[in-house]
Amino acid sequence: KITKDKNGIDLVTLQNPIGFSVQVSLHGGQVLSWKNERGEELLFRSSKANCKPPAAVRGGIPICFPQFGNRGSLEQHGFARNKIWEIDNNPPMLNHNNCNGNSFIDLLLKPSEEDMKIWPHSFEFRLRVLLTSDGALKLISRIRNIGSKAFSFSIAYHTYFSVSDISEVRIEGLETLDYLDNLHHKERFTEQGDTLTFESEVDRVYISSPHIIGVFDHGKKRTFLIRKEGLPDAVVWNPWEKKAKTITDMGDEEYRQTICVDGAAVEKSITLKPGEEWTGRLELSVLPSI
Ligand code: BG6
């Protein structure tokens, strides 16, 4: 189903037979909503979110491409999240996911002349957003170099999970890993704790993280499982009180209602030679906590 938001941008809604739904905007190819069978929102969106392009909506899953953060000369998190994507009506074959009860949409981003001036590389970024019959949300990215010289990029699916309260959240799967700490000049540290809990601002890139990461929310008695392929790193971000106050499109207390955990390729950029294609897959599922 396609509707328009108040700025005239297409929003695509996917539904599955058991009542889950996903909403994705052509602005940024950004997933804005993922709801369970009871209609409960699983992704955070700020009450102060600015939905007017080019700024990305504060919440959902903005895609950071071709740069993560300020690790390069481009604007923060690259330009893909600020662009209007198109619906790809004739995507090249993808063998998976055509099972009964799955619902999906294919989106496409190609650089404009303006993009080529700041990042002179010809690419096609294909994004399949898929809601499975059991309610999992899959994001499959395929990036192809259609130019005549190699290029390198970073990518992150900047996922804002909705949580009861940040004090009730723990993350499993990142114990003992090395991380780059954005709060300490991107220096490298090693995680010491058993599980990750939150008491202050966190802004880290965990390097070579496992394929599955668990985000446990004791308050809502809910567990998110993040499965990723082709995305070696995991970004964890919560701005906490002081930084949240400086973010104009986020309420002062809203940092308590979200945790960002991104499947990402940041530490080592990905290089594509002419004609080469890269695929990265993220799968989010939700379970009641045991
Ligand atoms: C995180 C970065 O991933 O995104 C943070 O590591 C940044 O440093 C945050 O503040 C939000 O970025 P933005 O551009 O959406 O405000």
Q: CA 228 to CA 251: how far, in whole Å?
A: 30
180 pLDDT band, cuts 50/70/90, is: very high
Cα of 158 to ligand 1 centre, how many Å?
9
Between the CA of 69 and the centroid of ligand 1 the distance, in Å, is 6
Rounded-to-integer distance, Cα 209 and Cα 235, Å: 10
Minimal CA–CA distance to 81: which of 13, 160, 182, 157? 157
From 81, 203, 206, mutation site for ligand 1 pocket: most ligand atoms within 8 A of C-beta: 203
3-state secondary structure of 53: coil
User: Where does ligand 1 bind, in terms of residues with CB under 6 Å?
Assistant: 69, 76-77, 158, 182, 203, 235, 237
Three-class secondary structure of residue 87 per DSSP = strand
CB 127 within 8 A of CB 29: yes
Residue 175: per-residue pLDDT: 94
Q: How confident is the model at residue 96 (pLDDT cuts 50, 70, 90)?
A: low
Can you tell me which residue has the tokens 């701005």? 239
The 10s digit of each residue's pLDDT in 98-156 is 667 899 999 999 999 999 999 999 999 999 999 999 999 999 999 999 999 999 999 99
What is the residue-averaged pLDDT of the chain?
Answer: 95
* Prediction ipTM score: 0.98
| pLDDT for residue 97 | 57
Q: What domains, with CATH codes, occur in the chain?
A: 2-288 (2.70.98.10)
Q: Which of 67, 204, 237, 238 to mutate to test the pocket of ligand 1 (most atoms within 8 A of CB)?
A: 237
